[in-house]
Structures are given as structure tokens and as C-alpha cells.
């Protein structure tokens, strides 16, 4: 296999963090692909972004000089095709984002590339690239390979990989953006109104609750406890599925990854592999569970076999 191409993403003059996470994703398969890692940045004010992406194992940075910085799906589609033609990568990584929805699948379909979206696992098994994503409404994990595909485009879920450390001595080159039909015109930026602005990937201290909470009416007391101890409230999937807490608070394989977390307090969570996928890397995990055999205790640094309501009460008395 040849190299890996990353299409960087920026918005409102800021590089989106997922761009850096894609570098770590690329590093995880670099040995298997045997190629180089190239980051492409598309826009007209790219200087700061070039410095930001010169990290980890990046070998080259390509500036695709466009007339403006606004996202235009046709511009990205034409740029992606031109970059694949010139660099001949075997893997293209793009963020799983509203932007990539506008061009990645279309370019892959038109040009006969392999494609997987919402990827949260990457591996090389020998010469074979394997991408993991969910299937059947996130009920199963599906491993995909791409037989016969010289180029594979993967849209990778944000928060799956940590940003890399270390500065890279990358070779920087520039090329003009290919001509693309101007079918859209950027008229302004309107931030979406989020009902819950929680940032699980960015939180350093997370207190998560699971099905052990029992009833929806009990959730509020844990929300208050989280606030009083300075933690971000997270949850396991059954609570998000039931609508007891917003999906944005779900930690795990089909939720968010606690990327920046250093302390994770798990109340009434059994420790399924899918929940662990979002938090087992955290240095300090404290688990509270009535079942001493619960899997979460295998990953917790500190465990309390006990009733989460009693432990919550103890905590409340100290804050």
C-alpha cells in the first residue's frame, strides 16, 4: 500500500481538533501501509494551520490555495480528486463531519474508491486495511475491508483518537485549488443552537451514571452532584437511549470518547466493552457498583462495592 492522505478541516479561522486526531489515526496504520502521511489543507489563510498540523508522524503538508476559506463541497471534491491523482495514496482520512458528508462519499462513488463512514477503529491485518464502524442502528460493530480498492476513503469519528505529541519536520508544498464549478456561495455563518453544550471529549473530570441509577427521577440528583464536585456528567448508553440524558453525554463506542479525561467516576455502570471503549484509557477510574464481579472493576484504579446512592450521599456531605 502507498501513503495516507488526510484532508484537514477548519471552520471560522480555527483548525478543527479532529484534524490532529486523524494524524494519530494515520500513525496507527502507517507501518502497515508502508507509506507516508500527508496532510492537505484547503483555503486561503493556511499559515497557522500549517504550523498546527506539523506534529506527530506527518511527513508532508500540502497547501491547496483557494480563493476563500469557506467550506465549498465542490471545491473539496475537486481538491480531493486532484490530490489522489497526484499523490496516489492508498488511504484517505477525512473527519466524520457535516462537511465531509458533502464530498467524501460522492468522490468515492464517482471514482470507484472504497468508502467507510463514521469509522471508530482502524487496523492493518497484514496488507489488509480493516475499518470498524457500527451497523444496524449502532446495534453491532462491523469490520470492513476493501478488496480490490486501490484507494479507500475513511471518514473517522471525532474523539476516537488522541491528538499526537511532538513536532514533525514536514515538507510543505503548495498548489492552486483545481477549478470547481461555483454552485454555492457563502453568505454568513450561523452557529447551531445546541440544547446541551456538554463537551465530553474535552472534559478532564467526568462523573458518569449507568443503569444502576434505576429511575429517570433519580438522574437530577446526580446532575446536581456532578456540578457540585466540578465534574462533567456523562452516562452509559441505556440512559441516553431512554432519553434520560442527551446523547451528547453518552460515553462509549457509539457515543463520545473521554479523550482529555484524567479522572472518571463511574456510578452503577457494569463496564461493557462498548462503554469501556470510551473511557478505559483514563488514568484514574473510580467505580461504584453493588456487584463485586462487575467488569468495570477490572479497569478501575479504585473500586467501591456498594450502593451508588449511599456513596453519592457521602460525597454530597463533603461538598
Binding site for ligand FAD (CB under 6 A): 134, 138-141, 210-212, 236-238, 250-255, 268-270, 272, 274-275, 278, 288-291, 294, 307-309
Nearer to ligand FAD (CB atom), residue 175 or residue 272:
272
CB of 99 to ligand FAD, least distance (A): 24
Residue with Cβ nearer ligand FAD (90 or 259): 259
Q: Give the torsion through C-alpha atoms of 264, 212, 307, 266, to 10 deg.
A: 0
Cell of 22: 486523524
Alpha helices in the chain (DSSP H): 18-33, 47-53, 73-87, 98-101, 104-111, 219-229, 237-241, 273-276, 308-318
* Minimum separation from the CB atom of position 40 to ligand FAD (A): 31
Which is nearer to ligand FAD, 19 or 250 (by Cβ)?
A: 250
Q: Among 187, 176, 193, 157, which Cα is nearest to 62's?
A: 176
Please state the closest distance from residue 117 (CB atom) to ligand FAD, in A.
15
C-alpha dihedral sign at 55, 60, 65, 68? negative
Instruction: Report in angstroms how near the CB of residue 204 gets to ligand FAD at its nearest.
Output: 20
Q: Specify the residue, 30 or 133, whose C-beta has the smaller distance to ligand FAD.
A: 133
* C-beta separation of 190 from 49 below 8 A: no
Block residue for cell numbers 479507500 = 152
Nearest distance in Å: CB 290, ligand FAD: 4
Closest separation in Å from C-beta 227 to ligand FAD: 20
∠ CA 59-69-160, rounded to 5°: 50
For 141, counting Cβ atoms within 10 Å of its Cβ (0-12 exposed, 13-18 middle, 19+ buried), the class is middle
Q: What is the closest distance, in whole angstroms, from the C-beta atom of residue 120 to ligand FAD in the complex?
A: 10
Least separation in angstroms between residue 257's CB and ligand FAD is 9
Closest CB to ligand FAD among residues 81, 162 = 162
Closest CA to 174 of 3, 44, 18: 44
Query: Would you say 24 or 253 has its CB closer to ligand FAD?
Result: 253
Max Cα–Cα distance, the chain, nearest Å: 65
Q: Which of 160/289 has CB closer to ligand FAD?
A: 289
Could you give the count of Cα atoms lying within 13 Å of 20 in the half-sphere of its Cβ?
20
Provide the residue count of the chain: 319
Rounded Cα distance between 17 and 223, Å, is 28
> Please, which residue, 47 or 293, has the CB nearer to ligand FAD?
293
Amino acid at each position: 500500500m502507498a501513503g495516507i492522505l488526510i484532508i484537514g478541516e477548519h471552520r471560522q479561522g480555527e483548525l478543527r481538533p479532529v484534524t490532529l486526531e486523524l494524524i494519530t489515526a494515520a500513525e496507527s496504520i502507517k507501518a502497515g501501509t508502508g507509506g507516508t502521511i500527508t496532510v492537505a489543507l484547503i483555503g486561503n489563510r493556511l499559515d497557522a494551520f500549517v504550523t498546527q498540523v506539523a506534529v506527530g508522524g506527518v511527513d508532508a503538508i500540502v497547501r491547496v490555495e483557494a480563493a476563500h476559506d469557506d467550506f465549498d463541497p465542490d471545491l473539496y471534491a475537486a481538491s480531493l480528486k486532484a490530490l489522489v491523482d497526484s499523490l496516489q495514496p492508498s488511504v484517505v482520512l477525512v473527519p466524520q463531519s457535516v462537511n465531509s458528508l458533502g464530498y467524501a462519499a460522492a468522490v468515492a462513488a464517482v471514482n470507484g474508491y472504497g468508502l467507510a463512514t463514521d469509522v471508530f477503529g482502524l487496523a492493518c491485518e497484514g496488507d489488509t486495511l480493516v475499518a470498524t464502524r457500527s451497523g444496524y442502528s449502532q446495534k453491532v460493530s462491523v469490520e470492513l475491508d476493501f478488496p480490490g480498492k486501490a484507494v479507500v476513503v475513511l471518514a473517522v469519528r471525532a474523539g476516537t483518537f488522541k491528538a499526537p505529541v511532538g513536532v514533525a519536520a514536514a515538507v510543505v508544498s503548495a498548489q492552486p485549488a483545481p477549478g470547481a464549478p461555483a454552485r454555492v456561495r457563502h453568505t454568513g455563518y450561523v452557529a447551531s443552537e445546541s440544547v446541551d453544550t456538554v463537551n465530553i471529549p474535552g472534559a478532564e473530570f467526568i462523573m458518569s451514571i449507568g443503569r444502576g441509577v434505576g429511575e429517570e427521577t433519580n438522574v437530577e440528583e446526580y446532575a446536581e452532584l456532578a456540578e457540585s464536585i466540578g465534574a462533567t456528567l456523562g452516562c452509559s448508553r441505556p440512559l441516553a437511549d431512554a432519553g434520560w440524558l442527551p446523547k451528547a453525554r453518552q460515553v462509549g463506542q457509539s457515543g463520545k470518547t473521554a479523550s482529555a479525561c484524567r479522572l472518571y467516576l463511574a456510578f452503577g455502570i457494569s463496564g461493557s466493552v462498548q462503554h469501556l471503549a470510551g473511557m478505559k484509557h483514563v488514568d484514574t477510574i473510580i467505580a461504584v457498583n453493588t456487584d463485586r464481579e462487575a467488569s468495570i472493576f477490572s479497569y478501575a484504579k479504585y473500586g467501591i462495592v456498594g450502593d451508588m446512592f449511599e456513596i453519592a450521599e457521602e460525597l454530597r456531605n463533603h461538598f
